[in-house]
Amino acid sequence: MKSSPIFRLAALSALISASLLAQAQGDPATLNRIADIGKNHSQIMDRFHYLCFDIGPRLTSSPELYRGQLWAMGQFKRFGCTNVHLEKWGEFPVGSDRGPHQVCRMVEPFESEMVFTTPSWSNGTKGLERGEAMLLPETLDDLKAHAADVKGKWIVSVPGRGGSATEINAELEKDGALGRVFGSRNELVITSGPNWKSVTYEKHPGLPQVTVRKSDIDRILRNLTFKRKVVLEINAENRWFKGPVPQYNVVAEIKGTEKPDEVVIVSGHFDSWNGPLSQGAQDNGVGSMTAMEAARILCAAHAKPKRTIRFILWSGEEQGIFGSTNYVKMHKDELDKISAVLVDDGGGNYQGGYNILPQMKPMMEEAIKKSQETFPELPQALRVVNGTRMPRGGGSDHAPFNAVGVPGFFTIETGTLNYNFVHHTQNDRFESCIPAYLIQSGTNHAIVSYNLACAETLLPREPKPAQ
């Protein structure tokens, strides 16, 4: 069926209007300065190095996170941002971190260093504790029958042995075991810690739970199978701090010149897991540093966006995207004036584009245009999603915004890095990142946020549900 001339004219008019709006974005001279400062005078690797080596991993509720947040505030102020502050979103019942003494090795029948972790918010050892390794008996009844053999031993656990974890742990603790040793499925040792809600400074029971690499557990089990005496030496310095511990997001702004109450948010989560060896680099030091670098670039370029560009370093992301979820609740009356929320949380690859709705395409094409010209070797893509809504879920700080209809963008990560190799593991370190990717990402954040902040309208969003 042919469309009527009137319909074709209306469609053409809408397309022309969208194109005109898309073109009316940032000042070209300012964009040139942003691109030059970001690409040719980057400071992101210096700041990233300081974060990884001088501050280190930043577990939510830890002193390291708070110290890092104070440092970040100082950096934002130094750049020239305004309204720099900590915004409290909640509390944790207890504080926790790791001390510098983190050792795990087999000392008999020969010496072998092991890579390990323990859950966050769990008990560590009482200093360096040496003991024989003993294989966990087949059943709980067998364990109780060998209760006298357990005292002072490291109990090596394998799947299918012992029964209920709660009952096993209680029995081992009662019998005086030093702790349990588990093996990872591969050479990656993953740190997590789901028990923070149930512990306090005064009450945090439980034996140390040590996880080592597959090659390490295989070596222990092989020697036990050969009936050799296996002796382990472990020092897991896990520390506790009295709560409740207030939790914050770091907030800084470049105030808009014409529509200061309308906002583009540039963000990444500042917290990380803190297993031994990890520095919280790709998850998510990268995302925090690209947001900070964007702020530095825009201030150095003397950018004057029409809307406010707000930089936020979230916390509590790893435990349940608490910082951003509570931000949405606390700022519910301002949500209609948020144009876009940019979130970098996919590791150390470069920002390779965005998932968008069809009506966003003209503005987003213009928003990334300068970045594509500046970094032609690192192409970007705009992926138009099916349906009328931005994707729900996603497990990062864009999700709470999309859930209420505010456009939240988890930047598409493109490049050669294997994120699974570092995600929550001992390999999440500074040296795993590629400087050229970080330079592009910080600059792209600056370009896209400036263009969206200078556009004629807020970014088009999904239809509001019928009331």
Q: Which structure tokens are listed for 6?
A: 């009137």
- Read off the pLDDT of each residue in 16-44 and give the average, rounded to a whole number: 84
Q: Tally Cβ neighbours within 10 Å of residue 420.
A: 11
> What would the pLDDT profile of 252-264 be if each residue is shown by its tens digit?
999 999 999 999 9
* Beta carbons of 168 and 136 less than 8 angstroms apart: yes
Cβ-based neighbours of 196, under 8 Å, separated by 6 or more:
61, 92, 93, 94, 96, 120, 121, 319
Q: Where are the beta strands (DSSP E) in 126-283?
A: 129-135, 154-156, 179-183, 209-212, 231-241, 245-254, 259-269
Q: Could you tell me which of 251, 259, 301 has the C-alpha nearest to residue 454?
A: 259
Q: Confidence class of residue 160 from pLDDT cuts 50, 70 and 90?
A: confident
> How confident is the model at residue 8, as a pLDDT?
44
- Read off the pLDDT of each residue in 25-37 and give the average, rounded to a whole number: 98
Q: Which structure tokens are listed for 156?
A: 């090596």
Distance of CA 179 to the CA centre of its chain: 30
Residue 416 has what DSSP assignment? S
Residue 229 has pLDDT above 60, yes or no: yes
> What would the pLDDT profile of 88-131 be if each residue is shown by its tens digit?
999 999 999 999 999 999 999 999 999 999 999 999 999 999 99
> How confident is the model at residue 464, as a pLDDT?
84
Residue 14 has pLDDT above 70, yes or no: no
pTM over 0.85: yes
Exposed (0-12), middle (13-18) or buried (19+): which is 204, by Cβ within 10 Å? middle
> How confident is the model at residue 162, as a pLDDT?
81
> How confident is the model at residue 23, as a pLDDT?
57
Q: Confidence class of residue 465 from pLDDT cuts 50, 70 and 90?
A: confident
Residue bearing tokens 């996880």: 211
Q: Could you tell me which of 445, 163, 426 has the C-alpha nearest to residue 292?
A: 445
Rounded to the nearest integer, the mean pLDDT of the chain is 94
> How confident is the model at residue 195, as a pLDDT?
81
CA–CA gap between residue 277 and residue 275 (Å, rounded): 6
| Domain extents in the chain | 26-93+244-454, 101-238
* Beta carbons of 287 and 344 less than 8 angstroms apart: yes
Residue 17 has pLDDT above 70, yes or no: no
Q: CATH fold of 101-238, please?
A: Glucose Oxidase; domain 1 (3.50.30)
196 vs 242, which has greater pLDDT?
242
> What would the pLDDT profile of 361-374 be if each residue is shown by its tens digit?
999 999 999 999 99
Cis-peptide into 100, omega within 30 deg: no
Residue 38 has pLDDT above 70, yes or no: yes
Residue 21 has pLDDT above 60, yes or no: no
Residue 10 has pLDDT above 70, yes or no: no
Residue 467 has pLDDT above 60, yes or no: no
Q: Confidence class of residue 22 from pLDDT cuts 50, 70 and 90?
A: low
Residue 11 has pLDDT above 50, yes or no: no
* Helix (H/G/I), strand (E/B), else coil: 184: coil
- Read off the pLDDT of each residue in 121-147 and give the average, rounded to a whole number: 96
> How confident is the model at residue 89, as a pLDDT?
98
Q: Tally Cβ neighbours within 10 Å of residue 37.
A: 21
Question: What CATH superfamily classification does 26-93+244-454 receive?
Answer: Zn peptidases (3.40.630.10)
Cis-peptide into 284, omega within 30 deg: yes
For a pLDDT cut of 90, what percent of the chain falls above it?
90
User: What CA–CA distances, in Å, run from 257 to 56, 119, 248, 305, 352?
Assistant: 37, 48, 28, 6, 30
- Read off the pLDDT of each residue in 71-78 and give the average, rounded to a whole number: 98
Q: Which structure tokens are listed for 85?
A: 């502050």
* Beta carbons of 343 and 266 less than 8 angstroms apart: no
Residue 3 has pLDDT above 70, yes or no: no
> How confident is the model at residue 18, as a pLDDT?
47
Q: Where are the beta strands (DSSP E) in 184-337?
A: 209-212, 231-241, 245-254, 259-269, 307-314
> How confident is the model at residue 445, as a pLDDT?
98
> What would the pLDDT profile of 282-329 be if each residue is shown by its tens digit?
999 999 999 999 999 999 999 999 999 999 999 999 999 999 999 999
147-185 as b/e, with b when 16 or more CB fall inside 10 Å? eeebeebbbbbeeebbbeeeebbebbeebebbbbbbbbe
- Read off the pLDDT of each residue in 34-61 and give the average, rounded to a whole number: 98
Residue 19 has pLDDT above 70, yes or no: no
> What would the pLDDT profile of 417-449 be if each residue is shown by its tens digit?
999 999 999 999 999 999 999 999 999 999 999
